[in-house]
Amino acid sequence: MRAVTIRDERIVIEEHTDPEPGAGEVQVRVRAAGLNGADMHQRLGRYPAPRGSPQDIPGLELAGEVAALGPGAERFREGDRVMGIVGGGGQAQLAAVHERQLMPVPRALGWLEAGGLPEVFTTAYDALFTQAGLRSGERLLVQGGAGGVGTAAIQLARAVGARASATVRSAELRPRVQELGAHPISPDGFAAHGPFDVILELVGAPNLPGNLEALATMGRIVVIGIGAGAKGELNLGVLMAKRARLFGSTLRPRPLEEKALTARALERSVLPLFDSGNLEVPVAAAFPLDRAAEAYERFAAGNKLGKIVLEIGD
């Protein structure tokens, strides 16, 4: 099979041995695979894949057709349209994935949208509801509202009746963010728009002081992105006075059992909203497999709304 391959921090396309599905796994013929921030870090050697996943083939999410079943696999049949999160190796023509990590593709979605759905919607749902307990009527601030997780979080908040605001640096992207369901604001002086019950931090440590200032009493901050920096000062006195909670969460290194639980939660609470038209997967750009290096450069350039997705051909 052909796959995106990391060689000395470069993105190239190389031939690899076809992965064979093990016990409880299925072989997926990948049709689309989204790019994520973790892929950028892995390319630079900063975020190795978890044990058991390919170290040189990036890709945390994929969508495709079941091509073969491993021993004991019974959730899906050959030819079924599936999507899911993987520890790595998603940006390839074939992938072996445990069936419990996979979900059926909603009927309303094409391959591009399905390939860009699993990582961002699972991450956003887990952070907002499993971790922070966002409820109807509460105020949410999404720090970095134009990215994949940001656009997912905005729509999920709207779906449950929460009121979302989102920081968006690019003025030209703010109207689209507003269409998705959030009040777009500049990252400069965002604290003045509070108080917020939940803050989803996708940018990093420089926002911590302002997040605490903007947080309501008994508010919650969930940190799931540190691209702008991992270390910062935190005023514990303010944290205590507001009786606030600070969470940190990652999805990639979790064991199979926990990833399976997140997949079932998404199947139950989120996927039906795609077929009803209440949710969408904004795709900023799509690239064929042979132009994967361009896709990575486009992702790194920023100023995009939604996902960058690779189309994986036969």
Together in a domain, 193 and 105: no
Together in a domain, 181 and 222: yes
The amino acid that residue 298 corresponds to is R
Q: What is the total count of domains within the chain?
A: 2
The amino acid that residue 270 corresponds to is V
Q: How far apart are CA 50 and CA 251, in angstroms?
A: 11
Query: Which residue is associated with the tokens 């998603």?
Result: 90
CB 37 within 8 A of CB 103: no
Together in a domain, 265 and 225: no
Q: Looking at the chain, which runs of residues are DSSP E strands?
A: 2-7, 10-15, 25-34, 61-69, 81-85, 94-98, 102-104, 139-143, 163-167, 182-185, 196-201, 215-223, 245-248, 283-288, 307-311
Together in a domain, 128 and 179: yes
Q: What is the pTM of this model?
A: 0.95
User: Along the 314 residues of the chain, how does pLDDT read in single tens digits?
Assistant: 999 999 999 999 999 999 999 999 999 999 999 999 999 999 998 889 998 899 999 999 999 999 999 999 999 999 999 999 999 999 999 999 999 999 999 999 999 999 999 999 999 999 999 999 999 999 999 999 999 999 999 999 999 999 999 999 999 999 999 999 999 999 999 999 999 999 999 999 999 999 999 999 999 999 999 988 999 999 999 999 999 999 999 988 899 999 999 999 999 999 999 999 999 999 999 999 999 999 999 999 999 999 999 999 77
Query: Which residue is associated with the tokens 């058991």?
Result: 52
Q: How far apart are CA 175 and CA 154, in angstroms?
A: 13
Domain housing 106: 2-117+252-311
- Count other Cβ atoms within 10 Å, centred on residue 129: 18
Q: How far apart are CA 302 and CA 88, in angstroms?
A: 23
Together in a domain, 187 and 284: no
Together in a domain, 50 and 108: yes
How confident is the model at residue 227, as a pLDDT?
Answer: 87
Over residues 236-248, the pLDDT tens digits come to: 999 999 999 999 9
* Residue 174: both structure tokens together: 């703010």
Q: How far apart are CA 311 and CA 64, in angstroms?
A: 10
Together in a domain, 150 and 53: no
Give whole-number Cα distances, 97 to 7, 90, 103, 148, 248, in Å: 24, 9, 11, 23, 26
Together in a domain, 53 and 88: yes
CB 182 within 8 A of CB 142: yes
Together in a domain, 48 and 124: no
Together in a domain, 12 and 83: yes
Please tell me the total number of residues recorded for the chain in this structure.
Answer: 314
Together in a domain, 54 and 156: no
- Exposure string (b/e) for 88-122, b if CB count within 10 Å is 16 or more? bbbbbbbbbbbbbbbbebbeebebbbbbbbbbbbb
Q: C-alpha angle with apex 174: 169 to 175, nearest 5 degrees?
A: 170
Q: How far apart are CA 300 and CA 15, in angstroms?
A: 25
How confident is the model at residue 300, as a pLDDT?
Answer: 94
* CATH number of 197's domain: 3.90.180.10
Last residue of a domain, one of 248, 272, 302: 248
Query: Which residue is associated with the tokens 């795609």?
Result: 274
CB 144 within 8 A of CB 150: yes
Together in a domain, 73 and 15: yes
Last residue of a domain, one of 202, 218, 248: 248
Last residue of a domain, one of 204, 224, 248: 248
